[in-house]
């Protein structure tokens, strides 16, 4: 809160410097206050059937204009940039993306033409030699591999603060996909997560080998094909609801099962998985629709479809807070799974809604196309965006309940910004054929997911070592 108040005490300072933490904490509290005041206004407007109270959030926006402008100028000064570059925010899409990248850039620790950095504040906790070590490590990693893909991966993981992505043996990881599994094994596969069925830590394998998700996907595709075939052969409208539901839910459910298999601790029951998928998906949709109502009041249509990133990602995080804030789920893999389940539920219900909308207001022949396209793209969108945020949140909270202070952790703020940016870019009217923009965006998301899976594996291994007595408890 002191960073937020500092913005007002320095509202006439257009010459100095402000560090990254000062800026983003001011932004965070500004958004929270704006949403709270807007929600209060929305409720009052509906209660008294009047638009009179809409002046409250508008007045707040007017109040923060001057301190916000001054803070943007000082933040640019902090990275040795001229303050007038803040005008880039008015350049649609490109300028706004560049501006966000500038505002998340780390402080220049040396004196520049705008003065000294705020070394006496809480902004710069790490010492200069740690920054130098970071740069040296990045250079060493780059020198070790001339492969540009590896350098891109290193940059993604360092920027998102999820730790280095080590080599992934996909052949070994998915070795169980084509292997024949007895029916008894399939029937018992989800008998986990209960007090009697959660394995002891020493019996947990550190290397997940998911396979059931693929079998689920193939089965769902087969059912969808049969429904589609029946619809075409008999022109029966009663098959369309089954077509929409099966097509919209097939891939999201399969990907949720994948993350369930990644959760090698096996401490989450099928009941919790279903609850997170359906309840989490519905709650996140309702919260997002509520936030859309608020943004509509202030005419933010100039952002176009990209506004969904700013609204829907926080909506899904809020759903996680409300539904699964339990101490016993303390693992990074748990956060990956819960985030994926909420994101998958959101994606499934949204896809079904779009398919129904095309069927009612458009052409029912477009329903299979909509379902197919959204099904193919779903593993690269909502599911992984919420999963990465959930994993980082669970890494921060550890064995405690989620608290508001966890949202202020720079690791969560960074990963949430990444998710929002990916979502906003995804929704840009780029116009690439066959939605090819999903490939680089999906690549970035899955690099982060794979790195977080490895952090989760390391967490389990450390706990096993602790139980085995090979390391001393801190």
Q: pLDDT digits over 451-467, tens only?
A: 999 999 999 999 998 88
Mean pLDDT of 308-327: 87
Tokens of 159: 């920027």
What integer pLDDT is reported at residue 471 of this predicted model? 55
Domains of the chain, by residue range, sit at 2-103, 128-160, 173-468
The predicted pLDDT at position 102 comes to: 82
Q: What is the pLDDT of residue 433?
A: 53
Residue-level pLDDT at 145? 47
DSSP 8-state code for residue 145: -
| Structure confidence at residue 132 (pLDDT) | 52
- Compute the mean pLDDT over every residue in the chain, rounded to the nearest whole number: 84
pLDDT of residue 472: 52
Comparing 16 with 53, which gets the higher pLDDT?
Answer: 16
What is the spatial distance between Cα 342 and Cα 390, in angstroms, rounded to a whole number?
Answer: 10
pLDDT of residue 45: 74
For 38-99, the DSSP string reads HHHHHHHHHHHT-SGGGHHHHHHHHHTHHHHHHHHHHHHHHTT--GGGGGGGGSTTHHHHHH
Asked if residue 157 lies in contact with residue 138, where contact means CB atoms within 8 angstroms, the answer is no
CA gyration radius for the chain? 24
Report for 5-14, 31-40, 431-440: range of highest mean pLDDT: 5-14
User: pLDDT (tens digit, 9 = 90+) per residue, 398-431?
Assistant: 888 888 888 889 999 999 999 999 998 898 776 5
76-95 mean pLDDT: 80
Tens of pLDDT, residues 100-136 = 878 888 787 778 888 887 654 445 554 455 555 555 5
Q: Is 115 helix (H, G, I), strand (E, B) or coil?
A: strand
pLDDT of residue 151: 85
What pTM value is reported for the model?
Answer: 0.72
Q: What percent of the chain has pLDDT over 90?
A: 37
């Amino acid at each position: 809160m002191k960073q937020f108040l500092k913005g007002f005490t320095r509202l006439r300072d257009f010459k100095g410097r402000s560090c990254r933490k000062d800026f983003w904490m001011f932004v965070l509290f500004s958004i929270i206050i704006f949403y709270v005041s807007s929600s209060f206004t929305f409720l009052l407007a509906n209660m008294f059937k009047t638009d009179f109270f809409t002046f409250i959030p508008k007045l707040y926006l007017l109040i923060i204009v001057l301190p916000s402008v001054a803070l943007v100028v000082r933040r640019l000064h902090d990275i040795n940039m001229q303050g007038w570059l803040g005008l880039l925010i008015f350049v649609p899409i490109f300028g706004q993306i560049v501006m966000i990248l500038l505002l998340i850039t780390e402080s220049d620790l040396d004196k520049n033409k705008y003065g000294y950095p705020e070394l006496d504040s809480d902004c710069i906790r790490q010492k200069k030699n740690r920054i130098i070590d970071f740069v040296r490590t990045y250079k060493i990693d780059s020198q070790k591999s001339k492969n540009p893909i590896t350098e891109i991966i290193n940059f993604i993981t360092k920027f998102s603060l999820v730790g280095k992505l080590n080599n992934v043996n996909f052949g070994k990881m998915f070795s169980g996909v084509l292997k024949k599994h007895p029916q008894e094994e399939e029937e018992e596969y989800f008998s986990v997560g209960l007090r009697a069925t959660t394995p002891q830590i020493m019996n947990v394998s550190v290397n997940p080998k998911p396979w059931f998700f693929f079998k689920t996907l193939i089965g769902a595709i087969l059912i969808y094909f049969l429904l589609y075939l029946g619809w075409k052969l008999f022109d029966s409208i009663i098959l369309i609801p089954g077509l929409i539901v099966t097509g919209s839910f097939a891939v999201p459910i399969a990907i949720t099962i994948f993350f369930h298999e990644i959760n090698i601790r096996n401490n989450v029951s099928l009941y919790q998985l279903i609850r997170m998928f359906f309840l989490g998906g519905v709650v996140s949709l309702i919260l997002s629709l509520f936030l859309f109502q608020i943004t509509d009041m202030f005419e933010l249509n100039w952002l176009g479809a990209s506004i969904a990133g700013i609204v829907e990602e926080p909506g899904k995080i809020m759903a996680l807070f409300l539904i699964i804030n339990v101490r016993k789920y303390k693992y990074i893999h748990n956060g990956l799974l819960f985030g994926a389940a909420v994101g998958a539920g959101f994606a499934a219900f949204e896809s079904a809604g779009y398919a129904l909308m095309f069927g009612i207001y458009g052409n029912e022949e477009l329903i299979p196309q909509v379902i197919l396209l959204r099904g193919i793209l779903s593993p690269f969108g909502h599911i992984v965006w919420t999963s990465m945020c959930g994993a980082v949140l669970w890494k921060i909270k550890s064995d405690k309940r989620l608290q508001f202070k966890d949202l202020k952790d720079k690791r969560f703020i960074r990963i949430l910004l990444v998710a929002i940016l990916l979502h906003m870019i995804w929704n840009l009217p780029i116009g690439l054929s066959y939605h090819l923009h999903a490939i680089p965006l999906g690549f970035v998301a899955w690099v982060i997911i794979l790195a977080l899976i490895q952090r989760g594996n390391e967490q389990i291994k450390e706990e096993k070592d602790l139980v085995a007595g090979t390391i001393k408890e801190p």
